[in-house]
Structure 1
Amino acid sequence: MALIEVEGVHVRFGDRVVLESIDLAVPEGEFHGVMGPNGAGKTTFFNVLTGRVKPSRGSIRLAGEDVTGLRPQLIAAKGVARSFQIMTLFDDFSARENIMVGLPAFRVRGFDMHRAASADSDLAEQASDILAMVGLTDRADVRAKDLSYGDRRALEIAVALGQNPRVLCLDEPTSGLGTDGVQRLSQLVSQLKRKLTIVAIEHDMEFLFSLADRISVIHWGQVIARGAPQELQQNEWVKRSNLGRFA
């Protein structure tokens, strides 16, 4: 049984069909890439997967449990963490504090974030361990708004890892990164592979084809191709597009 099972997912906004009968199965430990042109429905699919959009029909199962239509907080509690194309960080908090306020042990407290983040040594230690995973140990006390763009990307992934997820969903993780930033992110994702199940939307095909175990191509709201990177090399749509040179 796959860890993630998406069956017949359909999304309609008014008269516009955005997703039409999407099927997807992701085994535990797989890095599954999602690619396609702008407007293909990729982000809507991610929003369905993480509870931000309820499908018109179809189902989503996580480890066999039907999570279709659950609120994002409930899906997150079941082990699905997500980064966003537009980063969502507390700019005036340090890197360590950003992770601390995202830890499940902190969120259940529901009181002053800054005071608690500054006072709890156990949470601080957990946050420091996560910062080490993403290579930000020496930036722990730097405010998020003072970090470089690449460091902010790494911090957002660190915040997601703080939720101790089973599934990590990455929405355009290389967006805005230069060559060095992409290389650093590639190293991080390589380290996370097999430890987590990863689903990533990505426009950087070189990044995706070098790391993903399998890739689904979405176009006009449908999966038009799926397979390992080397298999997609034979797909006619991929060969006709400017993506083919990376396959």
Structure 2
Amino acid sequence: MALIEAAGVHVRFGDRVVLESIDLAVPEGEFHGLMGPNGAGKTTFFNVLTGRVKPSRGKVRLDGKDVTGLSSHRIAAHGVARSFQIMTLFDEFSARENVTVGLPAFRARGFDMRHAAASDPGFAESALEILATVGLADKADVRAKDLSYGDRRALEIAVALAQSPRVLCLDEPTSGLGSDGVQRLAALVGRLKGKLTIVAIEHDMEFLFALADRISVIHWGQVVARGTPQELQQNEWVRRSNLGRFA
């Protein structure tokens, strides 16, 4: 059984059909990439998976449970965490504090950073362990706004990991990164791969083809090709499209 599954997902905004009968099944532990041109419907589909958009029809299941149309908060509670193309960090908070805010146990205390830290030093320890996972343990006390762009990307993933998700959704994780930043991110994702299920929208085809187990190509609101990176390299539609130069 797939851990995350979408069946016949259709989204219409007024008279405009954005997604048309998209199917996706991602087994536990798989890294599944989503690629396609701008305006193809990738982000809308991502928003359906993570509860930000309710589909006009179709189903989304997580570990066999129907989560169609649930709020993003409730889907997160089912084990789905997400990063965004435009980062959403607390700039005045330290890296450690940003991760602490992502801990479910901390959120249950009502977001009072000082009170929670004083009453339970375990929060800081947990946050530091997560920062170590993404290579930021030595920058735990640096404010988010003072981190490099690449470190901010890593911090956003750390905040997502603080939720102990089963599914990690990454929206354009390499966006804005230089070659060194992309290499660091690839190493991080490589370490996470297999430990949790990853679904990623990505325009950097070299990054995606090197890491993904399978890739779905979305165009005109539909999945027009799907397979392993090797299979897509041989796909006639991909080879004839602009995407072929990346594949």
Task: Provide closer, same or farther for how the CA distance between residues 15 and 142 of structure 1 changes in structure 2, counting only shifts above 3 A.
Answer: same
On the 8 A contact 2:101/2:111 being kept in 1, the answer is no
Distance 1:117 1:93 in 2: 14
TM-score (norm 2): 0.98
Distance 1:42 1:225 in 2: 13
Structure 2 match to 1:199: 199
Say which SS state the counterpart of residue 5 (structure 1) adopts: strand
Structure 2 match to 1:146: 146
Structure 2 match to 1:156: 156
On the 8 A contact 2:3/2:27 being kept in 1, the answer is yes
Tell me the amino acid that sits aligned with residue 242 of structure 1: N
State the shift of 1:238 in Å: 1.2
Identity of aligned residues (%): 83
Structure 2 match to 1:120: 120
Task: Provide closer, same or farther for how the CA distance between residues 119 and 97 of structure 1 changes in structure 2, counting only shifts above 3 A.
Answer: farther
Distance 1:111 1:131 in 2: 19
State the shift of 1:112 in Å: 2.1
Distance 2:127 2:49 in 1: 27
Task: Provide closer, same or farther for how the CA distance between residues 147 and 122 of structure 1 changes in structure 2, counting only shifts above 3 A.
Answer: same
Give the number of equivalent residue pairs: 247
Structure 1 match to 2:104: 104
Q: CA RMSD in A?
A: 1.1
Distance 1:114 1:95 in 2: 15
On the 8 A contact 2:36/2:243 being kept in 1, the answer is no
Structure 2 stretches of 5 or more lacking a match?
Answer: none
On the 8 A contact 1:101/1:117 being kept in 2, the answer is no
State the shift of 1:237 in Å: 2.2
Task: Provide closer, same or farther for how the CA distance between residues 206 and 116 of structure 1 changes in structure 2, counting only shifts above 3 A.
Answer: same
Distance 2:128 2:157 in 1: 14
Distance 2:142 2:5 in 1: 40
Q: How does 1:53-202 map to 2 (within 5 A)?
A: 53-117=53-117, 120-202=120-202
Confirm whether residue 226 of structure 1 aligns to residue 226 of structure 2: yes
Confirm whether residue 239 of structure 1 aligns to residue 242 of structure 2: no
Structure 1 stretches of 5 or more lacking a match?
Answer: none
After the TM superposition, list the runs of 4 or more consecutive aligned residues in structure 1 that deviate by more than 4 angstroms.
none
Tell me the amino acid that sits aligned with residue 246 of structure 1: F
Distance 1:118 1:82 in 2: 29
TM-score (norm 1): 0.98
Say which SS state the counterpart of residue 109 (structure 1) adopts: coil
